[in-house]
Structure 1
Amino acid sequence: MNNMTQFNALGFTAAELEKLIFHSVEKAVQYQFSKHAPTKTEFLSVKAAAAYLQLSVSTVYAKTAASELPHMKRGNKLYFEKDQLDAWLREGRQQTRQDAMEQAANYTYKRKGGRNV
């Protein structure tokens, strides 16, 4: 059985199969480009960052002076990247009681001579 007979057995004409392959390749290329496309970074001013973090402007200035808050400075202006502020907020996550119990159990288990509780 030759190749054309096999395509006809599937119910596709050569033109339909060519169109299907073209669209599949086009979708794959678009997917690859969308994966590697640079994301748009959102920068905030001091006032916008203070509003976003629900802090006063003076607190934001104090935290940047103490290098507690990620920021950028160009000239006399401070800028904050929204993604970095989100990461900074996540770093302040407090452990739950369950997290602390699991961490303690792992520590005693891994400790030399320790036992599994």
Structure 2
Amino acid sequence: MKQFTFDDLPNIIGKLFVKLDKIEKLLKARKIIDADKNEELLTIEGAAELLKLSVATIYTKVCKNEIPVNKQGKRLYFYRAELLDWIKSGRIKTNAEIQHEVELKFNSTKYK
């Protein structure tokens, strides 16, 4: 590695700022692209393709509240990020478990 003198510092710092600025721009651009991709809205066919499931299976999971879904009128929409988070979670709570948690929460705040 080359030895630098005190007189070289202003020039070196200037180059470092330029390089850092480029790196920041690249990271911000990548973050925006990733955010847009994760906020992508999918139809039921797109969700089925992403999850490698049939459309009928997706409808069944929606009816059983087993999968995150947004409904607008008669149409179902899925956010890519929510589906990926759902897959990563590995396990979805049943309606009975959710009800049990609500009851526990209600009982713990009831007596305060």
TM class by smaller structure: 0.5 to 0.7
Q: Which residue of 2 aligns with 1:70?
A: 68
1:90–1:17 CA distance, 2 compared to 1 (3 A): closer
Q: Which residue pairs with 1:26 in the alignment?
A: 21
Matched, 1:39 2:24: no
> What is the one-letter code of the residue matched to 1:50?
A
Query: Which residue does 1:88 correspond to in 2?
Result: 86
Return closer, same or farther for 1:20/1:67 CA change in 2, 3 Å cut-off: same
* CA-to-aligned-CA distance 1:51-74 (integer Å, 9 cap, x gap): 222222122112112211001112
Give TM-score, length-normalised by structure 1.
Answer: 0.51
Describe the shift of the 1:88–1:30 C-alpha distance in structure 2 as closer, same or farther (beyond 3 A): same
1:23-53 CA distances to partner (integer Å, 9 max, x unpaired)? 1552465377458747112221101212222
Q: Structure 2 unaligned segments of length 5 or more: list them.
A: 92-112
CA–CA separation in structure 1 for the residues paired with 2:68 and 2:57: 14
Structure showing the higher helix proportion among its residues:
2
Residue 60 of structure 1 pairs with residue 58 of structure 2: yes
CA distance in 2, matches of 1:13, 1:52: 52
SS of 1:39's partner is helix
In the alignment, structure 1 segments of 5+ residues that lack a partner are 94-117
> What value does the CA root-mean-square deviation take over the aligned residues?
3.3
**36-45 vs 49-58, greater mean Cα deviation:** 36-45
The alignment of Structure 1 onto Structure 2 pairs a total of residues equal to 84
Deviation (angstroms), 1:82: 1.6
**Where does residue 6 of structure 2 map in the other structure?**
6
TM-score, scaled to structure 2: 0.53
Q: 29, 48, 51: which one pairs with 1:50?
A: 48
